[in-house]
Amino acid sequence: VNDSEEIQKSGQWMTKEFPVEESGKNECEVACFIKAPATALENLKCKIVNDTSSLVVDDAEELVSNVISIECSDLEKTIPFPINIAIPFTSCFRGNFREIVVKVTDGNFQSNYLTPISLEGYQGNHKENFAEVKIYQLGVFSVMSCLKKETFTVPKIGLSQKLSVDSRISFYYPPETFGSPAPVQLKVQPIEPSLVSTLKARHDMYHSVVSTSALVHVQHPSAQPLNSPITITLPCPPNPEKKRQGDETEHARAISATVKRVAMAHHPRAVSASVRKNGENLGDTLKLLGHRSKEEGWKVFDDVSIQNARNGLVSFELNEHLERFVVIRLLFLLENTYLVLFAQGLEEAVCSTMANVILYRKRENPYEIVVLLSASKELTWELQKLHDEGYFGPPEPTQQFPLKEGEQIHFRFRGNIFASENGKDFGKVHRLIFHSQRKPRLELQIKEVDEFGNHSSPHYKGTAVFYKVTREMITKKWEQPLPCGDYEHQTPLCQLALTLPKHEKSINRPRSTKRMSSDSSEAPWDNVLYWLAEELAEDNTSLLTLRFPVRRSVLQLVRLKCPDDLTHQIYELLCCWKKTLPRSADKQRLLSRYLRQSGRSDLSEELRFKWQNKAF
């Protein structure tokens, strides 16, 4: 990164802009601004180290900036700390539960977090979000979106504390709960109902789960035992389904030998026929699952009695330290083994994002492709963006799969196609690092390995093979080498088939052996068909209304090849129809006839007029 000239001066302190070198954009992209004494700024170096982003991010964190390394070029010089640094970032804030922090990581991968003193949108002439912090050491800096920490102190006289992130969550500490004032730190991870539904859909054993509370992380002073139980109140939504009318026969499904399903008590009984005022089913069961420590893992606390309160709130008393806990509402009892598995799956799913790989090519140049990772919920929007940039399928995006923040996707090409990031080094393994708010993307050039390969096909054929690399598999080194490609022991995450059109080869033959085309009208047909496709697509013409003699399987094929582009669907259909015709067929007359049969006499006449005037 080159240092630009200083843009602001205040006494002996200056604010200096460090731009990104070769950002590939017309606008100047900023790595950071540093405010420090002029003599110190002369010795500071800043560079982008996004290849190391997997090493600086943890679970429940989302990277929202470049990863930048700041070093002193002259080790003999002393930096007069503290100095100020402002890093640009882009983030989608997610309610009250998350906050923006700057993470500082040293050479030994030890990290600490700094709360920004400013998130202003201006630095110099640049208008965007900047996280500005005061730093006391150099190292690797990144802006993260993290779960918001709630910190308070419990005095000896006790405390009733409602959390600012969600006022429905409260902790009541009776007097003398701790022998001396005790600091408490809390973080709340909300659980989306869709997440619970997804887990239930994947595993039938979790059918009994109705809803869960948020996942609450608690940090009490472990040296101070709880002298009195604390009372915790938090929301755990009731069963949203209305009470079904009539009796339900009791049934049992073979989930496993140990899981018993009891039919919901809809038939009249003295105890459970009534419904509570807030609509909750009396048959619902509430269970507390907690985590004492990483070594012990999740445990079901059957001895803790959980009471229903109003408006979907539940409360219980806790007489021991738990690192994190969650309340689960059940329709009927479930084995503790499966409850623990559910909690583990829930914790895993909370830290994961469902994602897809997209591999599209340029419409004007099929030898240019883009490969990117997209969160599944944003897939439609990402595909539309690519279409606007001139990228289209096939192939279509892969099936969705879970990815955690900082996990990597390595991919290589097999078959008769390989790729390069710089147009020179073909055949290497490529890497994408997943960050849900960073939109990882690679633009590649592809070409055939053997120009004489796939001789029986009009295309060169290849496959992009993708592998998942977890953070635990990545070596903790600041210098991250390019992937070596030794994946024989690993099952591919997914694959995408790819084709390339073959080049037309001009063969120099002696004059006596030159082939003369018997049909000089062959050349403009590609233009004719594409013009017709554009005209028909402009009127939203359905493929089923076109009276061209093609098989139904051809219609299905063109829809699969170009699901989002009607023009290309019609064009592919017309090309497939043309291929079925003998070389001697009067294509213009046949095309006009089928257009009239399709109710487009206007296009038939326009085609005849353009053909006669050699408009194509």
Is 50 exceeded by the pLDDT of residue 14? Answer: yes
Place of tokens 């008590």: 265
Task: Pick the most confident of 1-10, 70-79, 209-218, 579-588.
Answer: 209-218
**Which of 429-433, 450-454, 462-466 shows the lowest mean pLDDT across its residues?**
450-454
Is 60 exceeded by the pLDDT of residue 5? Answer: no
CATH 2.60.220.30 at 150-243+280-350, yes or no = yes
The reported pLDDT for the residue numbered 21 is: 67
pLDDT classification of 200: cutoffs 50, 70, 90:
very high
pLDDT for 17-56, tens place per residue? 998 865 444 456 889 999 999 888 888 999 999 999 999 9
Q: Which residue has the higher pLDDT, 504 or 255?
A: 504
Q: Which residue has the higher pLDDT, 126 or 173?
A: 173
| Cβ proximity of 406 and 54 under 8 Å | yes
The reported pLDDT for the residue numbered 20 is: 81
Neighbour tally for 571: CB within 10 Å: 22
Q: Over pLDDT 70: what percentage of the chain?
A: 84
The reported pLDDT for the residue numbered 311 is: 86
Q: Tell me the two tokens of residue 293.
A: 């420590």
Mean pLDDT, rounded, for 587-592: 84
Mean pLDDT score of the chain? 83
pLDDT classification of 489: cutoffs 50, 70, 90:
confident
The reported pLDDT for the residue numbered 247 is: 38
The reported pLDDT for the residue numbered 459 is: 87
pLDDT classification of 276: cutoffs 50, 70, 90:
very low
The reported pLDDT for the residue numbered 525 is: 78
CB-neighbour burial class of residue 408 (10 A; exposed 0-12, middle 13-18, buried 19+): buried
pLDDT for 326-353, tens place per residue? 999 999 899 999 999 999 999 999 999 9
Is 90 exceeded by the pLDDT of residue 273? Answer: no
- Name which of 353, 296, 346, 297 is nearest 326 in CA terms: 346
Fold matches, 8-146 and 150-243+280-350: yes
Please tell me the class of the 8-146 domain. mainly beta
pLDDT for 206-231, tens place per residue? 999 999 999 999 999 887 889 999 99
| Cβ proximity of 562 and 555 under 8 Å | no
The reported pLDDT for the residue numbered 607 is: 83
Neighbour tally for 551: CB within 10 Å: 10
**Which of 35-49, 299-313, 600-614 shows the lowest mean pLDDT across its residues?**
600-614
CATH number for the domain formed by residue range(s) 352-501: 2.60.40.2660
Q: What is the DSSP code string of 533-568?
A: HHHHHHTT--GGG------HHHHHHHHHH-TT-HHH
Is 60 exceeded by the pLDDT of residue 251? Answer: no
Rounded Cα gap, residues 330 and 334, in angstroms: 8
Domain ranges of the chain: 8-146, 150-243+280-350, 352-501, 521-612
Rounded Cα gap, residues 195 and 199, in angstroms: 6
Is 90 exceeded by the pLDDT of residue 242? Answer: no
The reported pLDDT for the residue numbered 230 is: 96
CATH number for the domain formed by residue range(s) 521-612: 1.10.533
Mean pLDDT, rounded, for 199-208: 92
Is 70 exceeded by the pLDDT of residue 471? Answer: yes
The reported pLDDT for the residue numbered 295 is: 79
From residue 472, how far is each of 39, 404, 407, 476, 479 by CA, in Å? 41, 11, 9, 9, 17
The reported pLDDT for the residue numbered 11 is: 42
The reported pLDDT for the residue numbered 478 is: 85
The reported pLDDT for the residue numbered 142 is: 97
pLDDT classification of 606: cutoffs 50, 70, 90:
confident
Is the whole-model pTM more than 0.75? Answer: no
Is 50 exceeded by the pLDDT of residue 520? Answer: no
| Cβ proximity of 400 and 356 under 8 Å | yes
| Cβ proximity of 374 and 223 under 8 Å | no
Mean pLDDT, rounded, for 187-207: 92
pLDDT for 365-383, tens place per residue? 889 999 999 999 999 999 9
Q: Which residue has the higher pLDDT, 553 or 157?
A: 157
pLDDT classification of 101: cutoffs 50, 70, 90:
very high
Residue 37 phi/psi, 5-degree rounding, is -60, 145
Is 50 exceeded by the pLDDT of residue 360? Answer: yes
Q: Which residue has the higher pLDDT, 483 or 138?
A: 138
Is 70 exceeded by the pLDDT of residue 513? Answer: no
Residues 385-402 as b/e (b if ≥16 CB within 10 A, e otherwise) read ebeeeebbbebbbbebbe
Rounded Cα gap, residues 475 and 487, in angstroms: 16
Residue 593 phi/psi, 5-degree rounding, is -60, -45
Is 70 exceeded by the pLDDT of residue 268? Answer: no
